Structure 1
């Protein structure tokens, strides 16, 4: 339902509960109090109705209708337009989610436009209604309370992010393979958180600069400065988180590189050991080859005399050489000569 709540306050106290915007406008003119209209994802017709009644600037109305705006404060005459980005931490998924609240402040009205279910501004309204003196300070009191609610809502986010970063540090040195993905995811959430919180400094500074000119109650100025202090602490924590995560990425990259270097070193050592073993096997094979050549050479040298001796050792009747007077010396000389020739040949080839 787009119209969440609307009422006219007089001297900080709630009057009737009008059933429609038209009734709210009539009561406002009749009682000359302050109207607070709460809208949730309003239709263009409803937003245009409010814009016509309170003479809201078209650019601000366009921003409020479309949403997806950065936190900012803009003034159009007597009307102030403030955009806030609430955030909350989801424990189940360990993620940060963001909403959007637009606040129009005029001399006699407050219009809040929400584009997310959170934050629920009903507790803010109840808190103000229980403090009539604060609510009697006018629309600026409503704006302060909404700002305070948004900034206080950042505290659980800071605590959740801090816990996630502690877990990442444990994962980092435990060599968890999913740690890089978690770091990038968390870094994205922190950057989004910075986008929601960092502009608050300029928003609150702008409100405080114009406080005297627009006669904002002194007590509200003190309260806004307190909200500013809280916002600064939140932004400082967000900056620190981003630095920690960037350092974690650097450390993770260094650890991965070191692991790769260690693996390459182990592979290199294994390769060197394998090469050394191959070299030893090659040397052994070469030595065996040399031995085989020597054995073959001596076998060949001994084969020639053996061949001659075996021929003359045959028991044939008709062997003319047996009757020669020089047969024996010739046979022995041939054996020696053939052995010497073969020895010289093998020696020249390096086999002996």
Structure 2
């Protein structure tokens, strides 16, 4: 059932809980007050019913049906239409799960359309019903309470991202799999960017609402609440911006460390090649002398010379010692 919770409130107190939308319309006409309708993935027929009853703008209705909207707020006559992106952090996967919440706020109604499990609007409703004086301030009070709930839900995400970034910084200078660490930094950076897209528009939205408070005669207490939410959003934006900068720096540092390790490995390999080449050259010289006199030609004067053997051994030793000294001097050995 798309209708999750539904109430008609007079002077901040629930006077009726209609079972369907038609009963809600009749109850609102009978009692006055405000209607707070909570829908979860409603059908086009249900959204069309609400649109007809409250004269919602077709463009806003189209956005609510299609989903996948960016965070925004727009005014159509006496009705506010807002799109919020609630989110929650899944620590094991190091990913952020985004929801989508559409709100229609009019003079005597609030309609919420959720496309995901979050946020927990039941908690907002319970909190508002526990303070009838807040609900008595009208639909704007409900709207601001929902805004506050969505923004408060960002704090655990900030904490989760901070913990993961701390772990990455520890791994940067430790023994870790380079490929796995690079992937972790990249994927976390992608989550931070997506989070920025959800959070950054809120500051402009709230500032726009704040500027319109005087024109639409918003209660002073609600204006204070709005400023508090705006301050919270600004702090979250600053933290998220710093996270993105830290991750970009971490990726740069990681790339530099990987390059340095590869360079050191290459230098070590070059040293080994030098040693192998040096010993091969040292061994080659005696081998060459021995090979010449091992060809078994009959006409080789040195074969019948009394000092031929000592001279051959001496030549081999001289070549070997000479080459060893040269390579030692050049620090190849």
For Structure 1 versus Structure 2, the TM-score category normalised by the shorter chain is 0.7 to 0.9
Structure 1 unaligned blocks of 5 or more: 303-352
279, 282, 287: which one aligns with 1:280: 282
Deviation at residue 272 of structure 1 after TM alignment: 1.2
TM-score of the two chains, using structure 1 as the length reference:
0.82
Question: How far does the alpha carbon of each residue in 1:203-225 deviate from its partner, in whole angstroms, 9 at most, with x for none?
Answer: 10111111111111111111100
Q: Would the alpha carbon gap of residues 36 and 298 (structure 1) be closer, same or farther in structure 2, given more than 3 Å must change?
A: closer
Matched, 1:9 2:9: yes
TM-score of the two chains, using structure 2 as the length reference:
0.87
SS at match of 2:74: strand
**In 1, are the aligned partners of 2:2 and 2:43 still within 8 Å (CA)?**
yes
Question: How far does the alpha carbon of each residue in 1:127-165 deviate from its partner, in whole angstroms, 9 at most, with x for none?
Answer: 111111111111110010000000011111111111111
Deviation at residue 298 of structure 1 after TM alignment: 3.6
Matched, 1:168 2:168: yes
SS at match of 1:74: strand
In structure 2, what is the Cα distance between the partners aligned to 1:96 and 1:59? Answer: 29
Q: Would the alpha carbon gap of residues 278 and 299 (structure 1) be closer, same or farther in structure 2, given more than 3 Å must change?
A: closer
SS at match of 1:73: strand
Deviation at residue 173 of structure 1 after TM alignment: 1.8
Question: How far does the alpha carbon of each residue in 1:163-212 deviate from its partner, in whole angstroms, 9 at most, with x for none?
Answer: 11111112222232111111111111111111111110011011111111
In structure 2, what is the Cα distance between the partners aligned to 1:8 and 1:150? Answer: 23
Q: Would the alpha carbon gap of residues 301 and 182 (structure 1) be closer, same or farther in structure 2, given more than 3 Å must change?
A: closer
In structure 1, what is the Cα distance between the partners aligned to 2:149 and 2:22? Answer: 29
Q: What residue in structure 2 maps to residue 45 of structure 1?
A: 45
Alignment of 1:234-249 (within 5 A): 234-249=236-251
Q: What residue in structure 2 maps to residue 185 of structure 1?
A: 187
Structure 2 unaligned blocks of 5 or more: 307-333
TM-align CA RMSD: 1.9
SS at match of 2:36: strand
In structure 1, what is the Cα distance between the partners aligned to 2:305 and 2:130? Answer: 124
Alignment of 1:64-103 (within 5 A): 64-103=64-103
**In 1, are the aligned partners of 2:94 and 2:188 still within 8 Å (CA)?**
no
In structure 2, what is the Cα distance between the partners aligned to 1:171 and 1:195? Answer: 28
Deviation at residue 274 of structure 1 after TM alignment: 1.4
Bigger Rg, structure 1 or 2: 1
Deviation at residue 269 of structure 1 after TM alignment: 0.9
Matched, 1:197 2:179: no
In structure 2, what is the Cα distance between the partners aligned to 1:239 and 1:29? Answer: 48
